Amino acid sequence: MSTLLLLTNALQASAEVLPSLALLPHQIRILPPEVAALVDAPDADAVLLDARRDLVAVRSASRLIRTTGIDVPLILVVTEGGLTAVNADWGADDVLLDTAGPAEIEARLRLVIGRLAATRNDEPESTLIRSGDVVIDEASYTAKLNGRALDLTYKEFELFKFLAQHPGRVFTREQLLQEVWGYDYFGGTRTVDVHVRRLRAKLGPEHESLIGTVRNVGYRFVVPPSTREPAEVKA
């Protein structure tokens, strides 16, 4: 069962606008066809806009609805004559004849809602890692500190990223060697110390303490006192 918003001024609401809709087990909320009505509107799976009359006003309303950033399908309910007027620049995802039967309504709702869900699933996940004043973008291989770009080598970036993904957690040199350099790396753990030293130098005196040393154990990422919270990996 889906939740649908029906935008209409019709007195009989869904019974008048789209009679067959009442035969389906969906939850229908009636609202006036105004953008302001959507501000506090309940969450919905799709929006139906009564487009049976005054197509000029409907076109404006449809475009305005899209400017609100509403992230659900918008379906216009039109008469047969109105089909010739609807264009892609109206911003609607689909149209329904007001005489459509329950099977057609259900099929169109299922398809348009399903398409949006598939699109969301296909969208690439955000690659930003935030921890304190540090922002790391895995996609572009860039790291910023207080908005300042850090000039890091590939391995420096990988080491910084790995530590920032696990704030406060202590890693031995052997663990960092395996996680950042890989199991097939035959160099010694000394290379970890070298990269940490270079990384601290690039962070500068004020921020070199972001990479903390735990004596006789290894290294960890230290979140600044004002922002001690887990690293946020946006998805």
Question: Which of residues 115 and 169 earns the better pLDDT score?
Answer: 169
Element (H, E) at 6: strand 3-7
Q: Are residues 153 and 72 both part of a single domain? A: no
Whether 76 and 142 share a structural domain: no
Residue 34 burial (CB count, 10 A): 13
Q: pLDDT digits over 138-172, tens only?
A: 888 889 988 888 999 999 999 999 999 888 899 99
SS3 204: coil
CATH code for position 64: 3.40.50.2300
Contact 166, 231 (CB under 8 A): yes
CA 223 – CA 134 distance, rounded (Å): 9
Residue of 70 and 141 predicted with greater confidence:
141
Residue 196 CB partners (closer than 8 Å, separation 6+)? 159, 211, 213, 219
How far apart are alpha carbons 40 and 26 in whole angstroms? Answer: 20
136 in the same domain as 94:
no
One-letter amino acid at 74 equals L
Q: Say yes or no: 198 and 132 in one domain.
A: yes
Domain shared by 81 and 167, yes or no = no
Q: Do residues 117 and 18 share a domain?
A: yes
| Same-domain check for residues 96 and 165 | no
Read off the pLDDT of residues 29-47 as tens digits, 9 standing for 90 and up. Answer: 888 887 777 766 777 888 8
Q: So what's the pLDDT on residue 221?
A: 93
Domain containing 186 equals: 128-233
| Token pair listed for 132 | 């304190």
User: Is residue 206 pLDDT above 50, yes or no?
Assistant: yes
- Same-domain pairing of 150 and 79: no
DSSP string, 81-104: GGGGT--GGG--SEEEETT--HHH
Describe the strand order of the beta sheet including 148-149 as a list of residue ranges: 148-149, 142-145, 134-137, 128-131, 232-233
Q: Which of 98, 122, 146 is the last residue of a domain?
A: 122
Are 108 and 209 in the same domain? no
Count, residues in the chain: 235
Helix/strand/coil for 165: helix
For the chain, what is the largest distance between any 2 Cα atoms, rounded to a whole number of angstroms?
80
Domain boundary among 86, 101, 122: 122
9 and 91 within one domain: yes
Residues 6 or more apart in contact with residue 155 via CB below 8 angstroms: 180, 181, 195
Per the structure, how many domains does the chain have? 2
Q: Of 103, 122, 141, which one is at a domain's C-terminal end?
A: 122
- Position 148 scores a pLDDT of 87
Closest listed residue to residue 13, CA positions, set 50, 47, 51: 50
pLDDT attached to residue 226: 47
* Interval 82-89 mean pLDDT: 85
CATH number at residue 207: 1.10.10.10
pTM over 0.75: no
Given this model, what pLDDT does residue 92 score? Answer: 87
State the pLDDT at residue 158: 93
Residues 132 and 115 in one domain: no
- pLDDT, mean over the chain: 83
